Amino acid sequence: MAKKVLMKGNEAIGEAAIHAGCQCFFGYPITPQTEIAAYMARRMPQVGRVFLQAESEVAAINMVYGAAGAGVRVMTSSSSPGISLKSEGISYIAGAELPCVIVNIVRGGPGLGGIQPAQSDYFQATKGGGHGDYRMVVYAPSSVQELVDLVQEAFDVADQYRNPVMIMGDGMLGQMMEPVEFKERQTTRNLPEKTWAANGLRGRKIHNVINSLYLKPEELEAHNKKLQQKYAEIEKNEVKYELYNLENEVDIVIVSYGTLARICKNAIKMLEKEGIKVGLIRPITLWPYPKKAFDEVMDKVKLGFISIEMNEGQMVEDVKLSVNGRKPVFFYGRSGGMVPTPAEIVNKIKEIVGGAK
């Protein structure tokens, strides 16, 4: 059994990437994720790998493009405004079908915002922060251990589908310390060889070319159709979610992700003592979104669903699409770095349940 160690979330991300075979890290400091880059600056040279602090977020994501194009496992990290700067490069990477891992430790916005935790980058991550018809898998871990496990999984998923994968945490997850273990992983995925990589001739007669430019519209449309087929395969195979306290009928179901879902679990326990039965759907993949989770529990729900978020209402749109008018959908959120407390969540749900009665 692997030994458990106490680690800060940001540092655990770096160590998990090293265990997953990450060969290159390119980044730029921004609170609250700077410890990722600081950790990688120390650890990557120790294991004979590449760390480089770029001159900007734009430079960092284009370095990721280059390393991914050469076929090596590569990661970058940033926080909200920095991800905005990387968005053009992320679109290029998706268009060129290159695997990489991108970490966003989310802070409050818009604009420079603040450095406190938030979930206000949901639209940016799941609806495409950059231009064009592209998608990337987005994981939302809720503990440092799950963060470690999903970082390692992200590299495999990126390689399998030749696509960028995002780990989206928040400032709480990046800064909290929890015991974690780094298990030796043997992937069960059939990962293809990177015969497409631009890494020299290597016995080939012509060079591989990495490209996302298609000047003929019929060729660009064909490329987009190919990408959509890949995204459909991802939606079919890569959905992850947790159902909590949904073995039996409940009054209402909370939908929440990340560290906030842990706060919601405490609220559920408090409500249980008052005779109010509440379940939880916790999306682990924000894209592909776990629509089928709602189908699984629909017949167990009396009053409806409530999306609880650290923003002004973003994931609630996907909740409404998933519910598709079959039950009412409510919303409660805090923003700007404010975190909902268990007591606030309890009061909101009691208000809904009381109003229904």
Q: Output the pLDDT for position 356.
A: 56
Check whether domain 242-356 has CATH 3.40.50.920, yes or no: yes
Q: What would the pLDDT profile of 50-85 be if each residue is shown by its tens digit? A: 999 999 999 999 999 999 999 999 999 999 999 999
H helices then E strands: how many in the chain? Answer: 12, 14
Assess contact for 242 and 294: CB atoms under 8 A: no
Q: Any idea which residue has 């909902």 for tokens?
A: 340
* CB-CB contact of 137 with 190 (8 Å): no
Query: How far is Cα 147 from Cα 250, in angstroms, rounded to an integer?
Result: 29
Alpha helices in 25-116 (DSSP H): 34-46, 57-69, 80-95
How much is the pTM?
0.96
Dist CA 166 CA 150 (whole Å): 10
Angle at 258 between CA 255 and CA 259, to 5 degrees: 110
Structure tokens at 179: 């015991």
Same fold, 5-237 and 242-356: yes
Q: Residue 243 and residue 250: Cα distance in Å, rounded?
A: 12
Task: Report the distance separating Cα 154 and Cα 149, nearest Å.
Answer: 9
145-158 pLDDT, tens digit per residue, is 999 999 999 999 99
Question: Would you say 152 and 19 are in contact if contact means Cβ atoms under 8 Å apart?
Answer: yes
For residue 26 the two structure tokens come to 């390119």
Closest by CA position to 71, among listed 190, 193, 157: 193
Query: Could you tell me which of 103, 84, 138 has the C-alpha nearest to residue 25?
Result: 103
At residue 295, φ and ψ (nearest 5 deg) are -65, -40
Angle at CA of residue 211, ends 59 and 13, nearest 5°: 45
Question: If DSSP codes are grouped into helix, strand and coil, which group holds residue 169?
Answer: strand
In order along its 357 residues, the chain shows pLDDT tens digits of: 578 999 999 999 999 999 999 999 999 999 999 999 999 999 999 999 999 999 999 999 999 999 999 999 999 999 999 999 999 999 999 999 999 999 999 999 999 999 999 999 999 999 978 999 999 999 999 999 999 999 999 999 999 999 999 999 999 999 999 999 998 877 889 899 999 999 988 878 889 999 999 999 999 999 999 999 999 999 999 999 999 999 999 999 999 999 999 999 999 999 999 999 999 999 999 999 999 999 999 999 999 999 999 999 999 999 999 999 999 999 999 999 999 999 999 999 999 998 655
Beta bridge partners of 308: 332
- How much is the pLDDT for 355? 62
Three-state DSSP class for residue 1: coil
Per the structure block, which two tokens stand in for 88? 């053009």
Rounded to 5°, the CA angle 151-138-153 comes to 30
What's residue 183's pLDDT?
Answer: 85
CA 17, CA 182: separation in Å to the nearest integer? 11
Q: What CATH number does domain 5-237 carry, 3.30.300.30, 3.30.360.10, 3.40.50.970, 3.30.70.100?
A: 3.40.50.970
Q: What is the DSSP string of 260-301?
A: HHHHHHHHHHHHHHTT--EEEEEESEEES--HHHHHHHGGGE
Here the tokens at position 38 are 């600081």
What the block records as the tokens of 286 is 């924000």
C-alpha distances in Å from residue 52, one per residue of 84, 99, 123, 236, 288: 20, 19, 29, 36, 31
Domain-wise residue ranges, the chain: 5-237, 242-356
